[in-house]
Structures are given as structure tokens and as C-alpha cells.
């Protein structure tokens, strides 16, 4: 199985090595497999998962939110529970979008005023 070094993984994920380790400590990713010497070896699966985490982080979800997300997707939960949780998260994101849209409207007003 082809794996990536921490530096390569961080580069691919667009975050720092420290951040990757931090996410692992927080239980957001991994645990990442280690080489005989103790170095982390990131698989494509790891990278995929990391991509999901960074996607949500970019969207502004907090570490605690993501821990919940991980728990829901990994642990034993009924599909119903998962769907409820996921829909809640989605609604929260929609509210953020709404807040952004309000702010953009204000900006548009100002832009129109000064144009």
C-alpha cells in the first residue's frame, strides 16, 4: 500500500503537519498507522477523510462539531440518528449562508451608493 509522509500529507491537505497531528490528537482523524520506526504513514483513505475534515473546517465548523460528526459516522448509531444529526448540521450551515447573504446585501447597497 502506497502511503505518504507527514510532510506530503500536510501538503496535499493544505494544512500544516502540526495541524494534522492536532486533528489526530483530537480524534478527528486516524489514528494514523505508524512505520516500524514510529513515523506516521498516511494512506489515501486517511487523505480522503482529512479532506472531509478540512472541508468542514473551511466551512467554519468547530472542532467539537467535527468530533460529533466523526462519532456519528463511526460509532454505532441508527441511520435515523445519523440523518437527524446531519440535517441539523446542514441547517446550521444554511443559517451561516443566510448571515453571509445579509452581509453581502449590505455591501451591495454600499457599492451601489458609491458607484
Partner DNA sequence: GTCGGATCTGGAGCGCGCTCCAGGTCAAGA
Partner DNA sequence: TCTTGACCTGGAGCGCGCTCCAGATCCGAC
Binding site for a second copy (CB under 8 A): 52, 55-56, 58-61, 73, 79, 82-83, 86-87, 89-90, 93-94, 96-97, 99-104, 106-108, 110-111, 114-115
24: closest CA among 46, 44, 8, 45?
46
Of 68, 66, 30, 60, give the one whose Cα is nearest residue 47: 30
Nearer to DNA, 19 or 43 (CB): 19
Shortest distance in whole angstroms from residue 36 CB to DNA? 5
Q: Which does 12 bind (CB under 5 to 8 A by kind): DNA, a second copy, none?
A: none
Which residue's C-alpha cell is 502511503? 3
Cell numbers describing residue 7: 510532510
Amino acid at each position: 500500500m502506497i502511503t505518504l509522509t507527514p510532510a506530503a500529507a500536510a501538503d496535499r491537505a493544505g494544512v500544516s503537519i502540526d495541524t494534522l497531528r492536532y486533528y489526530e490528537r483530537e480524534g478527528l482523524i486516524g489514528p494514523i498507522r505508524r512505520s516500524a520506526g514510529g513515523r506516521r504513514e498516511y494512506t489515501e483513505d486517511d487523505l480522503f477523510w482529512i479532506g472531509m475534515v478540512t472541508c468542514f473546517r473551511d466551512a467554519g465548523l468547530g472542532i467539537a462539531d467535527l468530533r460529533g460528526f466523526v462519532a456519528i459516522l463511526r460509532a454505532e448509531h441508527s441511520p435515523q440518528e445519523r440523518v437527524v444529526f446531519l440535517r441539523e448540521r446542514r441547517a446550521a450551515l444554511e443559517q451561516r449562508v443566510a448571515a453571509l447573504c445579509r452581509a453581502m446585501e449590505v455591501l451591495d447597497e454600499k457599492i451601489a451608493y458609491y458607484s
